[in-house]
Structure 1
Amino acid sequence: MHILLTRPLEDCSEMILKFKSLGHQVSHLPLLVVEKVNYDSVNFPSFGGIIFTSANAIKFLDLKGIDKKILCFCVGEATEKTARNNGFQNVIAAEGNVENLKELILQNFDKKDGSLIYISGETVSTDLDQQLLKVGYNVKRIVNYRTSHNKNFNEEFVKELKLKMPDIVYVYSQNSAASFLNYIKLQQLESLWMNTNLMCIGEKTSSILNEIKWKKIFLFNPGEEEFLLYKI
């Protein structure tokens, strides 16, 4: 099976090795460039819990001055793994979506236990901090990275792609979907995806790519990528 992965290499290198070990052909098309954003200094001891909705939020955070025993909420398995690898000990993880994460916070963090700090990228699909504020939580959001559309693509890659179109492509965000659609149109690939299964995180992400004719569209949570191979 030919699989196309679209995340930055550091976010999908393990998956590339995994899929190759299973005998699949893997192509890599990084749709987004991730860069650090400077932020004001934070008095972390004044917060009772910390929220991460991506592994990048942890990667670009200055971890000095943070008590790693702080209650740490993560959106999914990949973010949880990054948190634990960086020393966080008291981690609670959702199943890959923000709605589940919100419910976990409501169940496990009492408003009386203090304030929450939410570390995120500049663009988010769900305003988690605003939702928590509406139900009475004290939440401070810090933006420490941003993503932009990758514009540096290898021309040889397009030629190789046309020779053997992927059976599956994984797209992880609305921003990635917009970048992918732009890439498809720029390279005049619109009519070549009818035998490709599109795997998207959430309906909002898949809706951006609805104008392209796919074999099927599946919705998934991070961590389910290998499982999806057996659904098609």
Structure 2
Amino acid sequence: MHILLTRPALQAEAMKLSLENMGLQVSLAPILDVSYVDFSPETLEASKAFVVTSVYASLRIANDPSVCRTVPIYAVGAGTAAPLRRVGFTCVHEAAGDATSLLDLILKKRNPSEGRITYLSGWDITEDMARALERHGHDARRVVAYRATPARSLSNATRELLRRGDIDCIVFMSYRTAHFFTALCEEARVSACLQTMTAAVLSEKVASGLDRKGWRKIRVATAPSQEAMIDILASARDQGFQEHSTPL
């Protein structure tokens, strides 16, 4: 089975290895290019806790030696928490993979009197965790740490894979990736090719970025995590999409 990953390159390479170890063939088509945004070092030094919702935000903290390894950090899920734990952060709290569980975790673990919380985010977000925390009485602010810019076009290699029907399943881990992939396929005139393929998406929100009628099937992960996505692909490998898929 041939999988196409649309995640940014850093995340896609790591996921590719896991999928290849499962015996899957994997090609990469990063739809978003991530670049870091400069901000004052004092931003990190003055913070009493951090909120991170992507691995890119986690890496900004992990790679800064001035940040105390015992500072509380609230991560949206396991993948986001991993870079921090690898470099020795000892107070990393991990939510269940979405904004709702992350907010619930912070409100349960932290009192507003404990000081400022900094939400390190991307330029484009669907949920402003700083504003959500402020509504609950916390001193919180958002700091943009990186920007994810959409590709201008599909690569020649990706277009050919789609035209030949070589791809069995395309993985989407974010709404923006799904949305821009759809637009790029239309621009490249390969949208019709997707009708023979399955889309595996992280959530119903991610699925809303796709043309739901333009796919053979769309499968939604049971939880907003990479582990749940890998479960979908393992099921496809072992039993086939036809037996276990339910179209949206």
Q: CA deviation at 1:143?
A: 0.6
CA contact (8 A) 1:98 1:126 kept: yes
**Alignment partner, residue 38 of structure 2:** 38
Question: Could you tell me how far apart the structure 2 residues matched to 1:190 and 1:83 are?
Answer: 39
- For 2:225, the aligned partner's letter is P
Residue 23 of structure 1: SS of its match in structure 2?
coil
What is the aligned-residue identity percentage? 25
Q: Distance in 1 between matches of 2:73 and 2:15?
A: 25
User: Structure 1, residues 60-113: CA drift from partner, whole Å, max 9, x if none?
Assistant: 456132111011110111111111123311111112111111111011111122
Letter in 2 for 1:59: L
Alpha carbons 1:51, 1:72 under 8 Å: kept: yes
How far apart are 1:202 and its partner, in Å? 3.0
Greater than 6 Å deviation, 4+ residue runs: none
Q: Is the 8 A contact 1:193 1:212 kept in 2?
A: no
C-alpha distance in structure 1 between counterparts of 2:138 and 2:7, whole Å: 33
Say whether residues 1:178 and 2:182 are aligned partners: no
Q: C-alpha distance in 1, partners of 2:201/2:101?
A: 17
Distance in structure 1 (CA, Å) of the matches to 2:7 and 2:35:
14
Q: List per-residue Cα deviations over 1:28-48 (Å, max 9, x = no partner).
A: 101011111111232545433
Which residue of structure 1 lines up, in the alignment, with residue 13 of structure 2? 13
Distance in 2 (alpha carbons) for counterparts of 1:124 and 1:153: 23
Matched, 1:222 2:225: yes
The residue aligned with 2:167 is 166
Give SS of 1:199's match: strand
Q: Deviations over 1:183-221 (max 9, x none)?
A: 111111121222322122333321121355222223332
Gaps in structure 2 of 5+ consecutive residues: 242-248
Distance 1:124 1:138, change over 3 A: same
Matches of residues 132-171 of structure 1 in structure 2 within 5 Å?
132-151=133-152, 153-171=154-172
Q: Using a 3 Å threshold, how does the CA distance of structure 1 residues 86 and 142 change in structure 2: closer, same or farther?
A: farther
1:146-166 deviation per Cα after TM superposition (whole angstroms, max 9, x unaligned): 011112643133123322342
Question: Would the alpha carbon gap of residues 86 and 172 (structure 1) be closer, same or farther in structure 2, given more than 3 Å must change?
Answer: same
Query: Aligned partners of 1:210 and 1:89: how far apart in 2?
Result: 43
Amino acid at match of 2:210: L
Worse overlay, 10-19 or 75-84: 10-19
1:1-232 matched pairs, under 5 angstroms: 1-61=1-61, 63-151=64-152, 153-220=154-221, 221-223=224-226, 224-229=228-233, 230=235, 232=241
CA apart distance, 1:118:
0.9
* 3-state SS of 1:92 partner: strand
What TM-score, normalized to structure 2? 0.86
Distance 1:30 1:217 in 2: 20
Relative contact order (C-alpha < 8 Å, sep 6+): which is higher? 1
SS at match of 2:17: helix
Q: Say if 1:191 and 1:213, in contact at 8 Å, map to a contact too.
A: yes
Q: CA separation in 2, counterparts of 1:154 and 1:180?
A: 12
Distance 1:70 1:33, change over 3 A: same
TM-score, normalising length from structure 1? 0.91
RMSD of aligned C-alpha atoms? 1.9
Take 1:218 and 1:118, find their aligned partners in 2: how far apart are those partners?
A: 31
